[in-house]
Structure 1
Amino acid sequence: MKIVVIEDNPDIMDVVDYVLTSDGHELIPCKDGSIESELGDIKPDLVFIDEYLPVKRGSDICKHIKTSPHLRHLPVVLISTVPNIGKIAKQSGADAYLEKPFELSDLIALTHKFIPTA
Structure 2
Amino acid sequence: MKKKILYIEDDPDMADIVSEIMQYEEYEVITDSGKAMHKLLKENDIGLILMDEGLSWCWGSNLCKELRSDERTADIPIIMISAVREIDDIAQHCGANAYIRKPFEIYDVIDAVNIYYPKDDLSV
TM-score, scaled relative to structure 2: 0.90
Out of 16, 20, 23, the residue aligned to residue 25 of structure 2 is 23
Name the structure 1 match of 2:36.
Answer: 35
User: Matches of 1:43 and 1:67 in 2, distance apart?
Assistant: 19
What are the ranges of 5 or more consecutive residues in structure 1 without an aligned counterpart? none
Out of 105, 108, 113, the residue aligned to residue 106 of structure 1 is 108
Name the structure 1 match of 2:53.
Answer: 51
Secondary structure, aligned partner of 2:36 = helix
User: Matches of 1:70 and 1:106 in 2, distance apart?
Assistant: 28
Name the structure 2 match of 1:71.
Answer: 73
1:4 aligns with 2:6: yes
Name the structure 2 match of 1:13.
Answer: 15
User: Matches of 1:35 and 1:71 in 2, distance apart?
Assistant: 14
Q: What is the root-mean-square deviation of aligned Cα atoms in Å?
A: 1.0
User: Matches of 2:4 and 2:86 in 1, distance apart?
Assistant: 28
Secondary structure, aligned partner of 1:34 = coil
Secondary structure, aligned partner of 2:74 = coil
Q: 1:57: Cα distance to partner?
A: 0.6
Secondary structure, aligned partner of 1:47 = strand
Q: 1:63: Cα distance to partner?
A: 0.2
**One-letter amino acid of the structure 2 residue matched with residue 53 of structure 1:** L
Secondary structure, aligned partner of 2:13 = helix
User: Matches of 1:64 and 1:78 in 2, distance apart?
Assistant: 14
Identity within the alignment, % = 33
Out of 75, 93, 98, the residue aligned to residue 91 of structure 1 is 93
What are the ranges of 5 or more consecutive residues in structure 2 without an aligned counterpart? none
